[in-house]
A = this chain, B = another copy of it.
Amino acid sequence: MTAVLLIEDDDRIRLSLVLALEDEGYAAHAVATAEEGLIEQRRVGADTVLIDLMLPGMDGFECIRQLRRTDDVPIVVISARDDTHDIVAALEAGADDYLIKPVAVKELAARLRALRRRSRTADAPALRILTFGDLELRPEAGEVRLHGAEVPVTRTEFQLLCELDDHAGQVLSREQLLQRVWGYDIGDERLVDVHVGRLRHKIEDTPGKPRHLVTVRGLGYKLQP
C-alpha cells in the first residue's frame, strides 16, 4: 500500500482528506505543521507528501525546499490560493503538482497515480560530468575538454554537442537536431553537417576517423559512448 503524508493545519480538511485517501486505498498519515511534517517524513519516509502552503510557523514553500534537500519524494501542493505566482513558486521550490482547494478526491487520486507512475526510480543524479574516453563534457560549466585540455567551442557547437550528449549512444536525425538546437521546423539539413564538421575538427584527433561524433549514414549522427 502506498503511504501518504499530509501536512495541513485545518483540522476539518485534514480529517476529511485522510478519510478520503484511505477510501482510495492509501495509508494516510497527517500532521498539522511543516516542522512536524519534516520530522515525520524523516522518520517514516512516505511515498508521497501532500502539503498545504499556508501553515502556521514555517510555510509550505520553505518546507518543500527543506524536504528537497534530502528527499526526492513526490510532493503535491494542495492550496486555496490559485495565483499563478504561487503555483510557479511552489513548483520551482520542488513540488511536482499543485491542486487548488477544494480538491476532487478522484482527481487527487488520479494525479497521485500519475505521479507515482513517473517517479518509479529513486536515485538522484549527481552533477553531470560526462566522459567519452578522452572527451569530457561539463554542461553546467559550458566546457569541453579533450585530453584534459579545454577546447574552445562556439555556442552552437556546444548546444549541438549537449543535445547529442543528452541522447548519448542514440542516433539523432538532422531533422531532430535542427529542431532541438536551432528551433527550426524545417530548414536546410546541410547546416547540421557543416557544424558537425566544425565540431569534429575540434574534438577528434584523427581526421577522417571520428571516434566520438560518428555519422550513421542515412539516419543522422550520434555520440559514441
**Chain A residues close to B by CB (< 8 Å):** 1-3, 22, 27-29, 43-45, 72, 74, 84, 87-88, 91-92, 95-97, 104, 106-107, 109-111, 113-115, 118-125, 127, 140-142, 154-156, 158-159, 163, 169-171, 175-176, 179-181, 183, 185, 216-220, 222
Which of B29, B142, B179 contacts A29, CB < 8 Å?
B179
Contact A1-B107, Cβ < 8 Å, known A121-B121, A219-B155:
no
Which of B43, B180, B222 contacts A3, CB < 8 Å?
B180
A142 touches B222 (CB 8 A): yes
B122 touches A110 (CB 8 A): no
Which of B127, B156, B171, B180 contacts A141, CB < 8 Å?
B171
A83 → B minimal CB distance (Å): 10
Which of B27, B87, B106, B169 contacts A140, CB < 8 Å?
B169
The copy count of this chain in the complex is: 2
Give the one of A1, A120, A159 with max B CB within 10 A.
A1
Q: For the complex, what is the distance from the CA of A16 to the CA of B162, rounded to whole Å?
A: 28
Q: For the complex, what is the distance from the CA of A154 to the CA of B210, rounded to whole Å?
A: 18
Q: For the complex, what is the distance from the CA of A218 to the CA of B115, rounded to whole Å?
A: 33
A106 touches B88 (CB 8 A): yes
Which of B44, B104, B125, B222 contacts A179, CB < 8 Å?
B44
Q: Within 8 Å CB of A43, what residues of B?
A: 175
Q: For the complex, what is the distance from the CA of A11 to the CA of B144, rounded to whole Å?
A: 42
A-B contact pairs, 12 of them (CB 8 A): A3-B179, A28-B183, A72-B121, A84-B106, A87-B110, A118-B119, A120-B122, A120-B125, A140-B170, A155-B217, A156-B218, A158-B219
B27 touches A183 (CB 8 A): yes
Contact A114-B91, Cβ < 8 Å, known A1-B180, A29-B179, A123-B121:
yes
A122 touches B118 (CB 8 A): yes
